[in-house]
Amino acid sequence: MMNELKQKLLSDFNDIEVNIPEDNRMIVSTKKESVLSILIYLKKLGYNHLALVSCNDWIDDNEFELIYIISAYQKNDEQYQDIEKSSIIVKTRISREKAKFITIIDIFENAEPYEREIHEMFGINFEGHPRLTPLMLERNYKIPPFRKDFDTNKYVENTFGKIPSIKERKEGNK
Amino acid sequence: MDRNKICKWLKNPGKMAHKYSFHVVYFCTGCGIIEIPPFITARWDAERFGIIPVATPRQASLFLITGYVSTKTLKAIIRTYEQMPEPKYTVALGSCPINGGMYYDSYNTITSLDKYIPVDGYIAGCMPRPEAIFIGVTHLWKLIDMDKADGYQRYREDYVHYRANQEQLYGKMDWPPLFSEENI
Amino acid sequence: MRELELYFGPQHLGMVGNFSITLKVEGDRIIKASANPGYLHRGFEKLMELRTWIQNFPLVCRINVVEPDHMELIYSMGVEKLAGIEVPEKGKYIRSIYCEMARVASHLFGAWAYANMLGFDTVANWAMYHRDLLLDMFEELTGARVYHIYIRPGGVRRDFPDGFTDRLVKTLHKIGGKVPDYNATFFENRLFKERAEGIGVVTREEAIRMGAVGHTIKATGMKYDIRKIEPYAAYDRVDFNIPTRTGGDAYSRLLAIRDDMIESVHMIFKLIDKMPTNGEVYTKTPNPFKWKIPAGEAYVRCESSRGELGLYMVSNGGDKPYRVQFNTPSYNHGLTVLEKALEGESISDVGNIMISLYIVAPEIDR
């Protein structure tokens, strides 16, 4: 079943690469302009559950990589079909300075909190998103925390380590 | 019952009332909340020690901080602690409030709780068993007898330094200082 | 009437866990709700990039405090898929029995939370006592009550002690014998039905659109369960049912949870009968200080007691992970479904709906 899907995708879209690493997984790498049309095409074939939106930071290539993982809900209540075992991973690369992309809320409605979290942790701007306010963090960071050039030990030393204890403050004042 | 014990209780009935009736604030701060429901239900009954959970901090006298503290939770903890009436006691569970614990290099958790609110004692374990929390409570009774559980008095006297530590972490705070120069 | 903005904040008697909701109310009806997570955020995915593959196990336990066993299982499955390790036969059966015990304990914790929030202390005390009996079994097997680090890549840490399965069967009979009392006082009581019927309705089209999994979608009639769709461990060697209900409100979700718990207890008996008596329980892995895993990426999924749990893992050939991301079931339920289900309800039902959607706060923040 995966091989037929691979032939269909290769004939309908140009400029994409399709791998099948094992029985139930398929990896589709594409350019950033055709991500939306591939997702709409796969949703019409029955893959209507967005499982994950993730991001990789390849600092050596100076690029971010956005990852969308989709799978299928059940159509028939009584028996399980082959399409429900499989998951498809759609990947694309964007540049690391002035990183921005377009939102997919119009296709999958539950992508909203995933994109908010990627915006505050990696610094990628999603155009068309209704509310891009911080989800979990409450202070501002100079470099977004999940990038590879954010040093956690130095940050802890500068912020929490420099606050003196109460005894030291009392002796320092006197 | 022998004569020395009766005289010790009658000499100081205020301390006896403080010790044997802790009311715990119902606030689940961290990981350690998984051992608090066994602590207050029927198998390891905490009510035989006088401990029951209450709904608001205005009626409470013991604050259990169960595990690690993130910067967003610390604001809620300070507000809750300042609403409790005196005398009040604080007990921290685990090793994360002492020096950061397992999350020593995380950008969102604090490394030492004693710099922001006063802590009376720590209980070891990750997470402490219900029997360990009982032993910690009996140690707190001994500290109250010896007049050493004075966290709330330290907060009142050194309030300037506690507030300076909190402002160094957060910048400008949302609420005015609790104690001013006249009513310390 | 005037509009007010209230905080159903972290310190509240109807809230289990450290989570906060901002409500806009008019009188007693809610107009708009917005969730406010982040009180328990530790940055796990960044911390796991700084520790080696085996050193990550104590961290991965603490993502879901109520039920840490499925987190260990999903991380082990990810490492095994990247490194190409197989689990022996007896190890698969032991993993299944261990995960089903964790599922029963987690559902009993959910029953405590619901009964405590409604103010029904009798059933809350029963549920916590039965969960403590199961935690005694865990302590005999692994040495700790809550965070047992028992699953390792390649199998489990050690075999069952002598006579363990007989004691487990006796404990489960004691729990199962009390189920008619639970039904008469709590689940099928007329007072509880009037309190929970018709509240927090999530229809099937809304659930599919908003990405709901687990009991939220089993209460609308769909049998979506990873143990049947993509079987792992020993689930394809034993036959069991997936209980569903129709209705989509809080009462149907709670009855689906109760049926799932009873089905798990029966499944443990069947697995114990079929388990082989001799055999290895783990395959050997290289020296953990020098273990490098070849480059690649993997996506694995399993079924925890709250829904579908997924893990996306990337390795670049070193001795530490390059990128790890968990897809927890409470993420969608707490941030997208909750805001929809609370519109138009009254303030006194917020805790009711939140606990029936089975949200655990540390799973959202990680």
- In this predicted model, what pLDDT tens digit does every residue of A61-87 receive, in sequence order? 889 999 999 999 888 777 788 888 889
How far apart are alpha carbons C344 and C321 in whole angstroms?
45
How far apart are alpha carbons A71 and A89 in whole angstroms?
9
How far apart are alpha carbons C366 and C361 in whole angstroms?
9
Residues in CB range of B174: below 8 A, 6 or more apart? B75
Can you give the three-state secondary structure of A22-49, one letter per residue?
Answer: ECCEEEEECCHHHHHHHHHHHHHCCCCE
DSSP bridge pairs for B91 = B64, B121
Give the count of beta carbons closer than 10 Å to the beta carbon of residue C82.
21
Distance of CA C245 to the CA centre of its chain: 19
Write out pLDDT tens, residues C58-84. Answer: 999 999 999 999 999 999 999 999 999
Query: Cβ-count burial of C296 within 10 angstroms (0-12 exposed, 13-18 middle, 19+ buried)?
Result: middle
> And the tokens for B32?
């350690």
Mean pLDDT of chain B, nearest integer: 89
pLDDT of residue A161: 87
Query: Cβ-count burial of B175 within 10 angstroms (0-12 exposed, 13-18 middle, 19+ buried)?
Result: exposed
| pLDDT confidence tier of residue B2, bands split at 50, 70 and 90 | low
Contact A169 B111 (CB under 8 A): no
pLDDT of residue B92: 94
Q: Any alpha helices (H) in C276-365, and if so which ranges? A: 329-332, 338-341, 350-356, 361-365
Mean pLDDT of chain A, nearest integer: 89
A152 touching chain B per CB within 8 A: yes
In this model, does residue B16 exceed pLDDT 90?
Answer: no
pLDDT of residue C26: 92
Find the closest chain A residue to B112 by CA distance: A160
Percent composition of chain B: helix, strand, coil (DSSP 3-state, to 5):
50, 10, 40
Write out pLDDT tens, residues C89-140. Answer: 999 999 999 999 999 999 999 999 999 988 889 999 999 999 999 999 999 9
Q: Across residues B82-95, what is the average pLDDT?
A: 92
In the A/B pair of chains, how many CB contacts fall below 8 A?
A: 45
In this model, does residue A23 exceed pLDDT 90?
Answer: no
Per the CB < 8 A criterion, the answer to whether C18 and C340 are in contact is no
Output the pTM of the full model.
0.93
In this model, does residue C301 exceed pLDDT 80?
Answer: yes
- Predicted complex ipTM: 0.91
> And the tokens for A96?
């690391």
In this model, does residue B110 exceed pLDDT 80?
Answer: yes
pLDDT of residue A17: 86
In this model, does residue A169 exceed pLDDT 90?
Answer: no
Q: Across residues B33-58, what is the average pLDDT?
A: 92
Contact C129 B25 (CB under 8 A): no
> And the tokens for B113?
């709780």
User: What's the full length of chain B, in residues?
Assistant: 184
Per the CB < 8 A criterion, the answer to whether C88 and C280 are in contact is yes
DSSP 3-state of C6: strand
Contact B107 A163 (CB under 8 A): no
pLDDT of residue B184: 53
pLDDT of residue C12: 87
In this model, does residue A174 exceed pLDDT 60?
Answer: no
Q: From chain B, which residues contact A within 8 Å (Cβ)?
A: 71-72, 100, 104-108, 110-112, 114-115, 154, 158, 161-162, 164-165, 168-169
For A142, A155, B160, C313, the CA distances from B168, given in Å and listed in that order, are 18, 15, 12, 38
pLDDT of residue A115: 93
DSSP 3-state of C8: strand
Per the CB < 8 A criterion, the answer to whether A50 and A40 are in contact is no
Find the closest chain B residue to C130 by CA distance: B43
Q: How would DSSP label each residue in C123-156? A: HHHHHHHHHHHHHHHHHHHHS-SS----EETTEE
**Mind telling me how many Å the CA of B97 is from chain A's nearest CA?**
13
> And the tokens for C6?
């209230």
pLDDT of residue C51: 92
Give the count of beta carbons closer than 10 Å to the beta carbon of residue C49.
16
Write out pLDDT tens, residues A138-151. Answer: 888 999 999 999 99
| pLDDT confidence tier of residue C329, bands split at 50, 70 and 90 | very high
In this model, does residue C156 exceed pLDDT 80?
Answer: yes
Per the CB < 8 A criterion, the answer to whether B68 and B96 are in contact is yes
